[in-house]
Structure 1
Amino acid sequence: MKLFTSLALVLALILSTTTHVNATTIKLNNNIALGALNLDQGFTDFYGYGSNIRYSSNTGYEANNALVMFFAEYNNNLALFVLADSANSTGKGKAKFSVNNLNDFGNIIFKDDTSDTNITNGIKWAWASKRNDGLVFQLNDPNNFNLDIAITNTQGLGQGFKFLSFDASNQVTSHNFTQANSLGEFNIATIPEPTTIAVLALALFALAASRRKA
């Protein structure tokens, strides 16, 4: 009976750490929580390249003369969308987007066009008037990543950078950052939720107690 109890506690411990798909909070610069947009279609389809608007993204979250970033979730997969400018903008632009150790955390599964230049840990863009640029970066592990993002060599992004956050109903909140010296540096990382930590601690305590009684 004691063995059965111990095994049950071990099982509870394992479940508490593996069945919480959304057991983490995504934090921007360690203080802004970012909720993901829930999708009912794949990431590339949602990007909408060539759909109604030629050679540009068509998500509905693009912004003139700004670089917009947000997370989207589909079938328990998580991706970072990065959208540079908008097809409604009349100005051309450029930017270099990179993530420190990008390949350690995921892969760029879509880039806007073949003329985008691959660089170490990222992409260099150049877009024309009435066009935009962008990418989709899918995370290997939605619950464990730490991204140091750098946006440099920018032109045509006078409205700066925007991070979008979504609630459970996909209502959006925009966090805006002004552009300084054509440079944007951000950290986005997962942080375990306190409730998850508490459940884990409780399971460990119960397991230790059962061993002492045995």
Structure 2
Amino acid sequence: MPLTLDQAAQLMNQDLEQFLLRCPLSISSAGKQKGEVRFYLYGLGDTAMGRHQGMPVKEGRLRLSTTALSTTAKAIQCIHIPVSQFEQLKPESISKVTHYDTAKFLVTTQLTGCTFAIRPGKGGGLEFLHIQPNGDFDGKKVQQAVGKEFQVSFGRGSQNDGSTYDDNSRVTVMGVRVNNLWKVYAQYQDGDGNILGVECIYQEPSSVAYV
């Protein structure tokens, strides 16, 4: 039986990795908003394949959006990383997250060619960037260029390998803070929203010092 919305929300709070393995998730953009934003988790009314204990299972597709499109939607406070175009990048395009940001989860809109980048911030905290390719720079070129400046440059490539995703995949990126340290996961999906796999693309070292 597919999880109910209550069960899915509970699993998300208890174990984000297992939630992403089981529940096909898409995330809508919150525009240019940075920092903590209230999102709502709700069902889309159709199903796709997830995985439970290593076996394929049919689950209801879920969405996180800033608009509650269902009366049963669950409110979840998240740090939102907005999208910036590659050719218009500025220092202020980077989102810096510190311990002053109290939300447990971190989200960005689904990747369909974009690159998601992470690096330690100067003076503490973490810096995040979601870059949309445009002009002469396609997704693969952006992923390679950003990799020269960021510790993690997760973007379009030739395969689904924890640092890239192929042309037939799209990716939901979501992070969770546990004991004040971030883990960021990528949920690979095919064109129908079926889960192909989940990878941890960044794990904050326990020696990090926040300021």
What's the TM-score, normalizing by structure 2? Answer: 0.29
More helix by share: 1
- Whose RCO is larger (CA < 8 A, sep 6+)? 1
More strand by share: 2
Which of structures 1 and 2 has the bigger CA Rg? 1
